[in-house]
Chain A
Amino acid sequence: MTVTDPRLAGPRPGYRVVGTSPAHHDFADKVRGSLLYAADWQLPGTLHGRVVRSPVPSARITGIDVAAARALPGVAAVLTAADVPSNRIVELASGGLGELQVTMPVLAADRVRYAGEPVAVVAAATQQIADEAADLVAVDYEELPGVFDVESARADGAPLVHDVGNTLVTWQIRSGDAAAALAAADVVVEGSYRTQHAEHAYLEPEAGVGWLEGGVVTLRVSTQVVEHAATIAGILRLPHSKVRVIAAYLGGGFGGKEDMTVEPYLALLVWHTRRPVRMIWDRQESLAASTKRHPFLMRYRTGADRDGTITAQQVEILGDAGAYPNLSPRVLFAAAACACGPYRVPNASITSSAVFTNNVPASAFRGFGAMQVTFGYEAQLDLLAERLGLSRTQVRERNFLAKGDLLPTGERVGTCVEVAQTMHRALALLGDPPRPSGPGKLVGRGIGCNRQPYGRTIWFRDRASAWLSLQADGTLLIRCGVTDLGAGQAASLCQIAAEVLGAPLDDISVYIGDSALNPPAGGTFATRQLYMSGNAVLLAARQLRDRMAPVAADLLGTPADELVFADGRVWAGGAGAAAGGPEVSITLAELAAACDRRSVSTAHLATWRAEAGAFDPRTGQGGTFPDYTYGTHAADVEVDPETGQVTVLRYAACHDVGRAINPMRVQGQIQGGAMQGLGYALTEDVAIEDGYVQAALFADYLVPNALDFPDVLVDIVESGEGKGPLGARGIGEPPIGNVAATIAGAIAAATGVRPAELPMTPERIAALLDEKGRTR
């Protein structure tokens, strides 16, 4: 069975390139194996780096002895906190709206707060020597009591992870009077939901190469954010202009390369040794010490009228931030802002807190807080349907948001909401319900709807820039600081420019991911790059076309607004062409030459600014995100009640992407997001006991393989109403959010018991069924 959608075949009406699925430059390099990732760059005389990490989760450092490590032949540098020019990273992820100010060291000086925290860094002639030297760094730890779960961390007298307190931030969003509305509701359903630490598990571990060039510390790394160059300059006490970050095409990111990974350590080693240095984190090191998805503890109370109309919802969310802030304040904000999902909730009371523990830090991961809550709010909708004797689709349709509705933050929904259409299409893909494969087996169907933001929170006044240049031979250059995680971030920019300027895709080269040579685009995160850089390229292309059009119009003797830019030429078009008259055109090269003769520049820089707004953390009212992507997943599962094993029989996903710039890539995002979500729902768990990550090997962390789950069937709604270029909505993060809720709903439909803790392992399902059997 293939899931090829016949609609992938051609461009959308009114477009030539948008809506097609060409095989771009990046795909071609990848299938050849010729793309050079971060670890593939080789320079003469390169040293190899290794981070020395704390083996304990909470301790005072009473001494560090590096003599033996430094004495090992082949060792070029062993650096500790004392060697870091400015050993303080203060990250205020929410822009200082409400979180504690907490400093994170680059290398721990006197205190470690999680197992895996960097304490020293080594460079040596070979990786083997660097590894040996790292083992020879002798650190004396005096262990301190730690705290390893959010509830303990909030208790009186809990050990403090940081002196300022264990609650990093608390967000409150209030609308109406939730308590009164709950008291007056015909029905109230309640639930507690628990989610786990999860690992990004990009196939490419954290890696990079750094060198000194013309006095500039240059790092070519696997990162989602080249703008970290400024932070690195701060650590080295260098002017911003003296650090350059180049992002190689990534071997996956998913948010895990949104924070810095190897960058500060590479930069320190390059700066101290004045030599090229390569650093690759082992997979096992990455598992133990890289950031994770936040485990959430969520409590929901939902009140509704007898007809299923939701009147009120109370939500309390605790997220385990781990030992340092990273992006936790923003993750928990997104959780609060999206806690009610794609539903109208007139009376809402939402509280979310990020809590410090001595676990490995949690930070960005595809879905970014807005995905964990889906497991909560969709369960509540199912419970409501059950209580009221309505179908799951009925209760959802009664409450779906519509354009113009108020969100709990007091904002109005600014674009159309086609979530009902996605629900019906996803269910249509599944077809008739399957029969059990044998006696005793139970089958059930689940659905999960979601609302996932795209774009940064609007108080950041986000912007992105792009530079386009029509070359003398009629080919086109695009420069844009976007990083490419594998989703075609660069390729879609080419399609947009080709659409506007008529340059064939083969004639376009795109240069990305360089903090020094590209106009800044912001990082690739928050599903923001098609929205931001896509709009920037669209703006730049339109402005460049508008500047060159009078020259072409003059040459062709036609009004500028009748010109058609297509197929590498500018056509007189308009009435003459429509009447079947002789087609008159010039090539883009001829246009470039004519522009040059008339001193009209064929290069153009444009900056696109997202809408701005403000959020008031005291009232919980104000602007949050620019817009949202809505979608629905549906699944049929079979449960073996003997073993608790859940088999996913069929899986379907449908999202409104506004406009599909490249439908094949949209499908790929949805299929990949759903698969990552299936792992999250059923198999993946970074178990941490007393601060120690239990998965020591990659083999212990169950990333879905090709046998685990069926093909993900995809349908795409194109409402044309997104705020991205040409009406597009972002699709990077949205498709991971629905999955756990969809599978939980299917298990509940099959067995009559609802899992409320992730992942939904056979052990947990069997235990739930046992419990049900005992209470019967």
Chain B
Amino acid sequence: MTRRRIALCVNGSERDAWVLPSDTLLDVLHDGLGLAEVRYGCGEGVCGTCTVLLDGEPVSGCLTLAVQAAGREVTTLRGLAGPGGALHPLQDRFLRRGAAQCGFCTPGMVLTSLDLVRRHLARGLGPPSRDDIRYALVGNLCRCTGYTKIIDAVAEYAALAAAGTPPAGTSPARTPPARTPPARTPPARTPPARTPPARTPPAAAP
């Protein structure tokens, strides 16, 4: 198989990569471009670990061919940080809420929930509810936290983002103060159809 050169925009920088037609976006980002935070978890699109935003929309890097990303914009977790490495407010909430234990699912969790909050706010729906968050994260597995602290973190960020206030910057150990989110306009598009796996959702608690 012959390799071809693709150009893509990764976290705001133009990057080139020589790729095989069979190379996944995950392979190219992790091994080729050195974006270690995009990690292999299952290769089936089941666990959500390798989630990146492709033109602003969450996709599984393991199910996306690198050539499909040619000419498009890719955002990974490190692309959320502000100048000087300041944490994005959603990352800040994850940090303070203990929403990362082993941390392996964290990039996918943060990117998927950021997309959810942006979509909700862009459509004037207000902050997503805890059930909305659970539904959006159904394709991102976590084996450590039991999800509660992740949902706490996303719900807090969503409320702050909806109120338009920068989250309070009570700075934790060795972490720069929280910042307002960088102005990133979500691309105008229809929300992705995310079908949850065929499992019966629990009835709402009485």
Closest residue on chain B to residue A671 by CB atoms: B146
Q: Is B100 in the interface zone, CB < 8 Å from A?
A: yes
**In the complex the two chains form, is B203's CB within 8 Å of A647's CB?**
yes
Chain B CB within 10 Å, residue with most, of A3, A34, A664, A707: A707
* Interface-facing stretch out of A277-285, A317-325, A416-424, A597-605: A277-285
| Interface pair B104/A37, CB less than 8 Å apart | yes
> What's the Cα separation between A650 and B103 when bound, in Å?
27
A545 at the interface (CB under 8 A from B): no
Nearest-CB residue, chain B, relative to A8: B98
Q: What is the 8 Å Cβ interface bit string for chain A, positions 421-438, against chain B (1 contact, 0 not)?
A: 000000000000011010
Give the residues in chain B near A673, CB-CB below 8 Å.
146
Contact (A204, B202) CB under 8 Å given A32-B81, A34-B78, A668-B149: no
CB distance from A574 to the nearest CB of B (A): 29
Tell me whether B85 is interfacial, beta carbon within 8 Å: yes
* Contacting residues, chain A, for B106 (C-beta < 8 A): 30-31, 33
Does B196 have its Cβ within 8 Å of any Cβ on chain A? yes
- State A521–B155 Cα separation when bound (angstroms): 39
- A707 and B104 form a contact (CB under 8 A): no
| A706 in the interface (beta carbon within 8 A) | yes
Given A280-B40, A648-B202, do A703 and B141 touch, yes or no (CB 8 Å)?
A: yes
Determine which residue in A2, A437, A697 has the highest number of CB atoms from chain B within 10 A of its CB, and name it. A2
Give the distance in Å from the alpha carbon of A488 to the alpha carbon of B100 in the complex: 10
In the assembled complex, the CB of A438 is this many whole angstroms from the nearest CB of chain B, namely 9
Confirm or deny: B102 has a beta carbon within 8 angstroms of a beta carbon on chain A. Answer: yes
Q: Is the CB of B101 within 8 A of A254?
A: no
Q: What residues on B are CB-neighbors of A711 within 8 Å?
A: 146-148, 151
Give residues 37-94 of B contacting A (CB, 8 Å). 37, 39-44, 46-47, 49, 76-78, 81, 85, 87, 91-92, 94
Nearest B residue to A488, CB-CB: B101
Distance (whole angstroms) from the CB of A430 to the closest CB of chain B: 11
Q: A258 an interface residue at 8 Å Cβ cutoff?
A: no
Q: How far is the CA of A673 from the CA of B25 in the complex (A)?
A: 33
Partner of B40, one of A39, A437, A710: A39
Interface string of B165-183 (1 = CB under 8 A from A): 0000000111100000000
Does A1 have its Cβ within 8 Å of any Cβ on chain B?
A: yes
Pair A702/B199 contact, Cβ less than 8 Å: yes
Residue A282 contacts which of B43, B139, B172, B200 (CB distance < 8 angstroms)? B43
Q: With A24-B173, A204-B102, A702-B199 given, is the CB distance from A710 to B205 under 8 Å?
A: yes
Q: Please give, as numbers and ranges, the residues of chain A lying within 8 Å of B152 by CB-CB distance.
A: 2-4
User: B98 touching A31 by the CB < 8 A rule?
Assistant: no
Given A27-B100, A204-B41, A251-B104: A668 and B202 interface contact (C-beta under 8 Å): no
Q: What chain A residues lie within 8 Å of B117 (beta carbons)?
A: none
Is the pair A705, B141 in contact by a Cβ cutoff of 8 Å?
yes
Is chain A's interface secondary structure helix, strand, loop, or mixed overall?
loop
B36 to chain A, nearest CB (A): 4
Are A3 and B105 closer than 8 Å at their CB atoms? no
For B22, what are the chain A residues with a Cβ–Cβ distance below 8 Å? 128
Question: Is A486's CB under 8 angstroms from B39's CB?
Answer: no
**Interface stretch of the complex, out of B119-127, B130-138, B184-192:** B130-138
Q: Which residue of A lies closest to B199 (CB)?
A: A708
Q: Are B87 and A27 in contact (CB under 8 A)?
A: no
- The A/B interface has a contact count, at CB < 8 Å, of 216
B95 touches A (CB below 8 Å)? yes
For residue A487, CB closer than 8 A to chain B, the reply is yes
Least Cβ–Cβ distance between B99 and chain A, in angstroms: 8
Do A31 and B95 contact each other (CB < 8 Å), given the known contacts A2-B155, A638-B203? Answer: yes
How close is B60's CB to chain A, nearest CB, in angstroms?
Answer: 12
> Cβ of B174 and Cβ of A25 under 8 Å apart?
yes
The interface centre, meaning the residue of A40, A437, A485 with most chain B CB atoms within 10 A of its CB, is A40
Partner of B146, one of A28, A30, A202, A712: A712
User: Cβ of A486 and Cβ of B144 under 8 Å apart?
Assistant: yes
Those of A132-181 within 8 Å (CB) of chain B: none
Interface presence of B143 (CB below 8 A): yes
Pair B146/A674 contact, Cβ less than 8 Å:
yes
Which residue of chain A has its CB nearest to the CB of B104?
A251
Chain B residues with CB below 8 A from A40, complex form? 30, 36, 39
Interface assignment of A250: CB less than 8 Å from any CB of chain B: yes
What residue in chain A is nearest B141 (Cβ atoms)? A703
Known: A25-B174, A26-B103. A664 touches B98 (CB 8 A): yes
Q: How far is the CA of A252 from the CA of B104 in the complex (A)?
A: 8
Residue B201 interfacial (CB < 8 Å)? yes
Bound form: Cα–Cα A485–B102 in Å: 6
A665–B100 CA distance with the chains assembled, in angstroms: 10
Q: How far is the CA of A200 from the CA of B140 in the complex (A)?
A: 17
Please, which residues of chain A bring their CB within 8 A of the CB of B146? 668, 671-676, 709, 711-712
Near B by CB (< 8 A), chain A positions 71-125 give: none
Q: Is B164 an interface residue (CB 8 A)?
A: no
Interchain nearest-CB distance for B197 vs A (Å): 7
Contact with B along A710-727 (1 / 0, CB 8 A): 111000000000000000
B104 → A minimal CB distance (Å): 3
Residues on B with C-beta less than 8 A from A30 are: 100, 102-103, 106
Chain A residue nearest in CB terms to B196: A707
Q: Are B205 and A668 in contact (CB under 8 A)?
A: no
Complex formed: what's the CA distance from A4 to B96 in Å? 12
Q: Given that A204-B41, A205-B41 are known contacts, is A486 also in contact with B102, CB under 8 Å in the complex?
A: yes
Q: Which of A3, A486, A638, A674 contacts B103 (CB 8 A)?
A: A486
Say yes or no: A707 contacts B134, CB within 8 Å: yes
- Which partner residue on chain A sits nearest B200 by CB separation? A645
Q: Given the complex, which residues of A lie within 8 Å of B140, measured CB to CB?
A: 705-706
Taking A1-B130, A23-B172, A707-B199 as contacts, is the C-beta distance between A203 and B49 under 8 angstroms? yes
A505 within 8 A of B: yes
**Which residues of B have CB within 8 Å of A252?**
102, 104, 143-144
Find residues 479-504 in chain A having any chain B CB closer than 8 Å to their own CB: 485-488
Closest chain B residue to A508 by CB distance? B173
Q: A703-B143, A706-B140 are known contacts; what are 5 more A-B pairs with Cβ within 8 Å?
A: A24-B173, A33-B78, A203-B104, A203-B143, A252-B144
The 9 A-B residue pairs with the shortest CB-CB distance in the complex, in nearest-first order: A486-B102, A30-B103, A33-B37, A251-B104, A675-B146, A671-B146, A23-B172, A33-B77, A40-B36
B residues contacting A by CB (< 8 A) are 22, 30-31, 34, 36-37, 39-44, 46-47, 49, 76-78, 81, 85, 87, 91-92, 94-107, 110, 130, 133-135, 137-152, 155, 172-175, 196-197, 199-203, 205-206
A residues apposed to B, CB below 8 Å: 1-4, 21-37, 39-40, 42, 128, 200-205, 249-252, 254, 280, 282-284, 434-435, 437, 485-488, 505-506, 638, 645, 647-650, 664-665, 667-668, 671-676, 697-699, 702-703, 705-712
13 CB-based A-B contacts, threshold 8 Å = A31-B95, A31-B100, A203-B105, A251-B39, A280-B40, A486-B104, A668-B149, A672-B143, A675-B147, A705-B140, A705-B141, A706-B135, A711-B146
